[in-house]
Amino acid sequence: MSSKKPIILILCTGNSCRSHLAEGMLRYFAGDLFEVCSAGSKPAGYVHPLAIKAMAEIGIDVSAHTSKHMNEFLNRKVETVITVCGNADQACPIYPGQLNRHHWPFEDPAHATGSEDEVLAVFRRVRDEIKRVFGAYADGRRDALKAGS
């Protein structure tokens, strides 16, 4: 699928939690401006059910997302790469056409322990942190486009 919109690729190690939370948020905030994708350096092969649940609670559906390997994007012109965990930042290749790279690490909610309610609380907290960071990023990109830069 080709898109005229610049591609923003969000990377994490497993591509099961944080990168999908961030992908869903950025699509919500700026999907009109960018094609937003996510991938992992060692993809888990699934999207964590509590990530899907935490996003659904705020009206964002990521249930159709899939876990992908970052190498699937090596033949695509990726404008911006955002890593959301340290391991992906270290493993991240340079993509064709890449102009920007950001590293914003977040705690991995998949490692949370306790009851389902306690673990879900961690997913909600990380979701809300990602919402603040990626909402601000989307606002900044939108402002830059309006200013013509």
Identity of the residue numbered 105? P
CATH number at residue 60: 3.40.50.2300
Residue 2 belongs to some domain of the structure = no
| Residue ranges, the chain, pLDDT below 70 | 1-3, 88-89, 92, 149
Catalytic residue list contains 17: no
What CA–CA distance (Å, rounded) separates 103 from 45?
23
Quote the domain boundaries for residue 129.
Answer: 7-147
Q: Tell whether pTM > 0.75.
A: yes
Q: Is 12 a catalytic residue?
A: yes
Q: Tell me if 1 is assigned to some domain.
A: no
Catalytic one of 12, 21, 78, 120: 12
- Given the residues 7, 10, 85, 133, select the one marked as catalytic: 85
Active-site choice (62, 92, 122, 133): 92
Summary count for the chain: helices (H), strands (E): 4, 4
- Structure confidence by residue, pLDDT tens digits, 50-61: 999 999 999 999
